[in-house]
Structure 1
């Protein structure tokens, strides 16, 4: 079934909205674990900077952020009921799961932004690679994160 361009654009904005939220929420969970559990102000600050970078990239892009919110259909989202299926066992597990969630959301943003704003897509790509490096740094500094019991 062929969709008209308005429907396709609406879907793009819904994907962007969901993944901006997912990336920023994942970073916020990791930021709070770094701050309150690991007691690492530097790591917390770096995670906050990544979260703010996502916001800044979207603000400076050609993406209509109001439209992103207006196209949101949270109540009808068929994927919303899957969110609580996995039981987290520890803060380490939370950290790893949320870093993974963030990386995946950034990749989706990178791909979908190519449809609207290539420059923003490239900036998100850089943020994604910065996230990989920060994850690596975190795991080297706190190897206990690799044992999420």
Structure 2
């Protein structure tokens, strides 16, 4: 138990410092509330209007992909520490883990779920303009304006 004494001491000091900082800011800080201080803060930009109540599902997909990759990286750190001790079995286990973790990400990329925003819109506008000017029809009945027909097909199947 003695080996944990420095750790517990440091933890107690951290909690004490945080509590004292919070109390000192409440007691010593000036109170001058303004409308700007009460408004929601996002990226340093003053909001022009109230946010919409519903966010598109694409934000959710990006958040889920981030969480999957983040958890994967967290599990890679301990693996690198014990790599020599695990030998071939460790490589096999981590290979299976990487495949299982990257399959959903590959699916997102293949369906075009993360292809959105100004880049896609500009590509669609430019592509449509060029094809109209050249008088070229789409391939195999596909609309030449769309840059990601697979993503739209996946959305239609899901609905």
TM-score band by shorter chain is 0.3 to 0.5
| TM-score of the aligned structures, taking structure 1 as reference length | 0.33
Higher helix share goes to which structure?
Answer: 1
> Highest relative contact order (Cα 8 Å, sep 6+), 1 or 2?
1
TM-score for both structures, normalised by structure 2: 0.32
